[in-house]
Amino acid sequence: MASAASILISEGNQVAALTGEQFRRQFEDIGALFHPLPADASPDVAHVIAHDPTLRNLPEDAPQLMRFQIAVERALVDPIPLQHVMLQAVLRHFAADVILTESGFLGILPLLLGARERRPRVVICGTYFLTWERDDGAPYLGGWRPASTQAQRAQYAGLSRDHDRLFEQPLIARADELMKDLGARPLHRGVFESAIELADAYLQPSVPSFEFPRASLPASVRFIGGLPITPNLHPLPAWAADLDGRKKVVHVTQGTVANKDFGMLLAPTLAALGDDPGVLVVAITGGRPLDTIPGTMPPNARVASFLPYEWLLPKVDVFVTNGGNGSVNQALTFGVPLVTAGLSEDKADVNARVAWSGVGIDLATGHPTPDALRNAIRTVLANPGYRIEAARKAREFAAIDTRAEIIRAVTSRST
């Protein structure tokens, strides 16, 4: 969101940011006014999954979809009233013409479900894959690839009924309960689909060919390519000169959300390639201390808390990730093929798109073994088809003027 705000400020617009205190410097450095969002208005999903008492007390055989529904309710739906109050407080002092928010900020729903003439234009930037109904009847969650047979469609119909019963309807009921005193009419779709449908513009930072095919989408949806990387956020590492092109570079990260246990992906990747003298493994911890990585650090590893992606990604031959939507799309803007392994949050669905679109290998697990990672990475390095397809995606990203799309969405007078 900071990169979008920077674009708008460079065009002479005033921007006020309402977000977590940890992002204060990021927004103030680009000239935005900053309004802190309390921590209890934006709980961390991973923290909820790890510590919520309801989740911890569920029986071991409770459906995974039920677990995820509870996590989403706690982290994204329950904060709606407080988010709404905080947003209204900002609007009283900052007469916004447009509200630009991200798809996880469901506190925008009371405005979208209220009287249109009483609110500014609302533009939502998608931070997940496109959470809209599919033509083949599959639920949008679960990592299901497009159906190719009638048997698959029949299977997906049953899965969709479970999805509606265990996930959508409980969230709708909870959101309606919380919003009934906020001037909002009841939802007639799921919370995420409602945000897409009701927004004046819904900006998906990706390209159409990376999204599962649909015969039609709401008029609000616009694919805007890749959000620009804010340059110089992080310094070059002392070992920057090691990435001189003589060795293959494999980059691995677990992002900044599902990174509490580096034994899930980062450490197994280091172990998988630790004895390969022709490869450098560049690992990012997403802000966590480097000494939290378990195991012995191999000599071909280069590790940092954060790195400037505008410098790193052009040098990377394979990107190993648990499937964060932003990271995957950033990799594709540079034509980097992927190996993915992650099932938490929306990662199974992002990773299913990686495999379906031909830009990489999805190991379809949250705990890959070093052997599985080694084989997948070597397959991607050896098979030019993955890089060719990733390069096609990069050209598609490059053909979209993201800056112009953001400005057009924000400055449009249409609804």
Q: How far apart are CA 29 and CA 48, in angstroms?
A: 31
C-alpha dist (Å) from residue 43 to 37, 57, 76, 198, 258:
11, 20, 8, 24, 14
pLDDT reported for residue 45: 77
pLDDT reported for residue 172: 99
Q: How far apart are CA 169 and CA 189, in angstroms?
A: 9
Helix, strand, coil distribution of the chain in percent, nearest 5: 45, 15, 40
pLDDT reported for residue 117: 80
Q: How far apart are CA 3 and CA 298, in angstroms?
A: 35
pLDDT reported for residue 414: 59
Average pLDDT, the chain: 95
pLDDT reported for residue 233: 84
Q: pLDDT of 385-397, one tens digit each?
A: 999 999 999 999 9
Q: How far apart are CA 79 and CA 95, in angstroms?
A: 23
Q: How far apart are CA 392 and CA 112, in angstroms?
A: 37
pLDDT reported for residue 162: 95
Write out the chain's pLDDT in tens, 415 residues: 999 999 999 999 999 999 999 899 999 999 999 999 999 998 877 778 878 999 989 998 888 899 999 999 999 999 999 999 999 999 999 999 999 999 999 999 999 999 778 899 999 999 999 999 999 999 999 999 999 999 999 999 999 999 999 999 999 999 999 999 998 999 999 999 999 999 999 999 999 999 999 999 999 999 999 999 888 889 999 999 999 999 999 999 998 777 788 999 999 999 999 999 999 999 999 888 898 899 889 999 999 999 999 999 999 999 999 999 999 999 999 999 999 999 988 899 999 999 999 999 999 999 999 999 999 999 999 999 999 999 999 999 999 999 999 999 998 875 4
64 burial (CB, 10 Å; 0-12 / 13-18 / 19+) is exposed
Q: Please tell me the number of Cα atoms within 13 Å of 410 on its side-chain side.
A: 24
Assign residue 99 a region (left: φ > 0; alpha: ψ between -120 and 50; beta: otherwise). beta
pLDDT reported for residue 10: 95
Q: Which domains can be identified in the chain, with CATH numbers?
A: 38-226+401-411 (3.40.50), 240-398 (3.40.50.2000)
Q: pLDDT of 3-28, one tens digit each?
A: 999 999 999 999 999 999 989 999 99
What's the longest Cα–Cα distance across the chain? 64
